[in-house]
Chain A
Amino acid sequence: MERIPILRMGTFLLVTIQIEMDDRIALRLQEDLTSLIEKTGARGVLLDLSALEIVDSFIGRMIGTISAMSRILNAKTVVVGLQPAVAITLVELGIALAGVKTALNVERGMAILQAEDEEDSDLKE
């Protein structure tokens, strides 16, 4: 079975989805991700969907699940790279991706995560 690769980028994890997802792969990704967040103490997860030409409610649910799980483990999730046609379709579908931040690309996504990280550490002081 194929596995989605997860890259470490500093205190963040980068997940690039380039293959068709099904239940098993999605479940495996969630397991791998949560275990890696715990192991590395990652503060954020970047979900790169720039290669996806179709995002349906299944993927929408998966994003929501990943975001919720990560939050419990004290990591924030940012979805990056949504294609225009996909964004338009998601709006029409009525899928809100609630509670998930989005960014145009990985670079911007990291900037968001870094800014939030700083904010959090400021609050702690």
Chain B
Amino acid sequence: MSESMPIVTSQDVVLARQTVRKLAQETGFGIVDQTKLVTAISELARNAISYGGGGELQWERVSDNGKKGLRLTVADRGPGIADLELAMKDGWTSGSGLGMGLPGAKRLVNDFHITTEVGEGTTVVVTKWK
């Protein structure tokens, strides 16, 4: 069962972080895992607004052989990413802030899946297991 919320304004990013924080707590994640997950969503949500013209956050509680987890999807219908390989390459996240922070966000979660199509948009699905 999945639920969703829009990601259009910077206030939405704040709301998204609060929502994911609460979900992560309910799922039983420790403080560090909560922080990692919320930070990852913060990155993806900001991307959706900055590069994607706004999008949507979906969340779903998942389980696998008794293991509990959270699956979060951030999707936009923006211009898409022209060079996905480059965007996923490390070295694009630095203090000076180039790039979309995708490789970093990937390290904060267990499963990371991104699909993008120029002119169609970008969808990122991340999963974190307890």
Contacts and interface: CB of A to CB of B under 8 A. Distances in A.
| A–B direct touch in complex (beta carbons closer than 8 A) | yes
Contacts of B93: 57, 93-95
Contacts of A89: 32, 35-36, 39, 108
Contacts of A63: 95
Contact of B95 (A22, A85, A99): A99
B35 A53 contact: yes
Interface stretch (B62-70, B71-79, B99-107, B112-120): B99-107
A81 interface: no
Nearest to B36: A89
A60 B35 contact: no
B42 A94 contact: no
B84 interface: no
A84 B35 CA distance: 10
Interface of B: 10-11, 13-14, 17, 21, 31-32, 34-36, 38-39, 42-43, 46, 90, 93-97, 101, 103-105, 107-108
A101 to B, nearest CB: 13
Contacts, number: 78
Interface of A: 20, 22-23, 53-58, 60-61, 63-64, 84-86, 88-89, 92-100
Contact of B104 (A22, A93, A98): A93
B108 A60 contact: no
Nearest to A86: B35
Contacts of A55: 39
Given A93-B93, A95-B95, A57 B108 contact: no
A60 B10 contact: no
A44 B15 CA distance: 34
B17 A54 contact: yes
Contact of B97 (A54, A60, A100): A60
